[in-house]
């Protein structure tokens, strides 16, 4: 089944507003063909500024996180309701850095997924194993638990609006890259789990992105894998030229 690639730029806690505007102008000028869907995930405080600056149609905008609650006395948090009201399209849920540094549990991530969908956002659900799990050969068991305890609480209708991102945590910022074969193996496994839970049709339609140190030099072989539907790009997305190269690799 043919699935259009999705390339997402996750800037994390990087770039000033001026740098972000320069990046957007360069990408807008050079993003000439619809090789893939493109989603930009800037810091919260820049989202609406960049949405106002952008005059094109190819780039969609997303938030890097949302609260598991709709409203409340949670200083510093941003809700899916607020994101939806600001016109945001996507939201990342369960990123490995949120799990590691902020203690997000599978239960909390399940609640975030529900909240995002309630407010008509498209969640990018992240899953993936750390190095010790990979070395023990238990990556499928680990990822299966993440899927079961969070994503698989959704109905078949709800999961149709979700994109999955596989993050081999051991390959993020470590200098160790997953091979295309390793990426394909885990992407195929995740798709198989979706098929078992829902249906082959849903599994064939859902997009699964690779999120482990994807760069211009390894993007093309990764994207050539039959179950890799694009990338959640971190460090390489901060440079407009590099990011454009990765988008072109999805052609």
> Mind giving me the DSSP string for 123-154?
EEEEE---HHHHHTT-HHHHHHHHHHHTGGGS
pLDDT at 231 over 70: yes
Lowest-pLDDT choice from 24-38, 127-141, 221-235: 24-38
Residues 77-92: tens digit of each pLDDT: 999 999 999 999 999 9
pLDDT at 178: 87
Over the chain, what is the mean pLDDT?
Answer: 95
Active-site residue list? 95, 167
Residue 234 Cα to chain centre, angstroms: 10
- Report the candidate in 70, 39, 21, 58 with the shortest Cα–Cα distance to residue 165: 39
Give exposure, 114-150, as e/b (b: 16+ Cβ within 10 Å). Answer: bbbbebebbbbbbbbbbeebbeeeebbebbbebbeeb
pLDDT at 232 over 70: yes
pLDDT at 177: 77
Exposure of 26 by Cβ count < 10 A (0-12 exposed, 13-18 middle, 19+ buried)? middle
Q: Model pTM?
A: 0.97
CATH class of 6-249: alpha beta
Domain boundaries in the chain?
6-249
Residues 79-132: tens digit of each pLDDT: 999 999 999 999 999 999 999 999 999 999 999 999 999 999 999 999 999 999
Residues 152-169: tens digit of each pLDDT: 999 999 999 999 999 999
pLDDT at 100: 94
Contact 39, 6 (CB under 8 A): yes
Residues 38-64: tens digit of each pLDDT: 999 999 999 999 999 998 889 999 999
């Amino acid at each position: 089944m043919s699935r259009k690639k999705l390339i997402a730029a996750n800037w994390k806690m990087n770039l000033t507003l001026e740098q972000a505007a320069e990046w957007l102008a360069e990408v807008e000028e050079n993003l000439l063909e619809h090789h893939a869907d493109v989603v930009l995930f800037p810091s919260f405080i820049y989202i609406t500024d960049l949405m106002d600056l952008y005059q094109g149609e190819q780039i969609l905008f997303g938030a890097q996180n949302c609260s598991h609650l709709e409203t409340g006395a949670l200083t510093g948090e941003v809700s899916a309701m607020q994101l939806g009201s600001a016109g945001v399209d996507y939201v990342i849920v369960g990123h490995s850095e949120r799990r590691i540094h902020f203690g997000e549990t599978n239960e909390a991530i399940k609640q975030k997924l529900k909240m995002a969908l309630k407010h008509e956002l498209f969640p990018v659900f992240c899953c993936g194993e750390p190095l010790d799990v990979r070395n023990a050969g238990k990556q499928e068991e680990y990822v299966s638990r993440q899927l079961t305890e969070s994503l698989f609480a959704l109905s078949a209708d709800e999961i149709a609006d979700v994109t999955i991102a596989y993050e081999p945590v051991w390959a993020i910022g470590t200098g160790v890259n997953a091979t295309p074969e390793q990426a394909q193996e885990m992407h195929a496994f995740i798709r198989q789990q979706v098929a078992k839970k829902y249906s082959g049709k849903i599994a064939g339609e859902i997009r699964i992105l690779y999120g482990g140190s994807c760069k211009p030099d390894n993007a093309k072989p990764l994207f050539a894998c039959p179950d890799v539907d694009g990338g959640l790009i971190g460090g390489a997305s901060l440079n407009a030229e590099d990011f454009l190269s990765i988008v072109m690799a999805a052609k």
